[in-house]
Amino acid sequence: MPKALPGPLSLRPVREGDLPLLYEMQLDEEARRLAAFVSEETRDGAAFVAKHRKILADPAITFRGVEVAGELVGSAAVFPIEQDIELAYWVRRDLWGRGVATAAVAALLKEVTARPVHARVVADNPGSVRVLERNGFVRIGSEDSYADGRGATVTELVLRLDDPR
Ligand SMILES: CC(C)(COP(=O)(O)OP(=O)(O)OC[C@H]1O[C@@H](n2cnc3c(N)ncnc32)[C@H](O)[C@@H]1OP(=O)(O)O)[C@@H](O)C(=O)NCCC(=O)NCCS
């Protein structure tokens, strides 16, 4: 059953003025642990802003702010990596478990129609796996690699969304 969202959800392009809020959200330690593939340099505000200015300037990246009732509460992005395109998202911690990421990913995948889309999730981030599977992604494999957010090698699940047949 889809959850009742905490308010009406919409996506909009991220603006430079959003970066301080997005920076604060990604400092949350439990979020960093779950996401795992976060670079240590993004603990530094100036480094975070510099990295995201490049993202904002890159026409190949679709980077959207997630708003609930008009308030910025997260982000979702589709970006090219090697031959693939990948999906990533982040939601402010006090709103977890209320369907925000599931709905934001659904909205982004309506806007970005290219397929397949890949996503990578640490195997012990079950909420994120659920978000993807609810949006039609299927598991296609796994890889072990080093994750800064854990300071350890972790198993990452690889998921893919194809065109519906
Ligand atoms: C992962 C993340 C985006 C999920 O956001 P969210 O808004 O809470 O997601 P939703 O509420 O839409 O869905 C989460 C689902 O996972 C489930 N879930 C959450 N924690 C869980 C857990 N520990 N075990 C099993 N299921 C879990 C929820 O019940 C929900 O499923 P349901 O709707 O069937 O009940 C959020 O935790 C986050 O921003 N984490 C930090 C960044 C990150 O991990 N990004 C993803 C990197 S791949």
pLDDT digits (tens, 9 = 90+) for 111-143: 999 999 999 999 999 999 999 999 999 999 999
Q: Tell whether ligand 1 has an atom less than 6 A from the beta carbon of residue 122.
A: no
Whole-number Å distance, alpha carbon 72 to ligand 1 midpoint, is: 18
Q: Which is nearest to 37 in space by CA: 108, 128, 110?
A: 128
Contact 158, 122 (CB under 8 A): no
Q: Which is nearest to 141 in space by CA: 164, 121, 125, 162?
A: 121
Q: Tell whether ligand 1 has an atom less than 6 A from the beta carbon of residue 86.
A: no
pLDDT digits (tens, 9 = 90+) for 54-94: 999 999 999 999 999 999 999 999 999 999 999 999 999 99
Q: Mean pLDDT for the chain? A: 96
Q: Tell whether ligand 1 has an atom less than 6 A from the beta carbon of residue 158.
A: no
Q: Tell whether ligand 1 has an atom less than 6 A from the beta carbon of residue 98.
A: yes
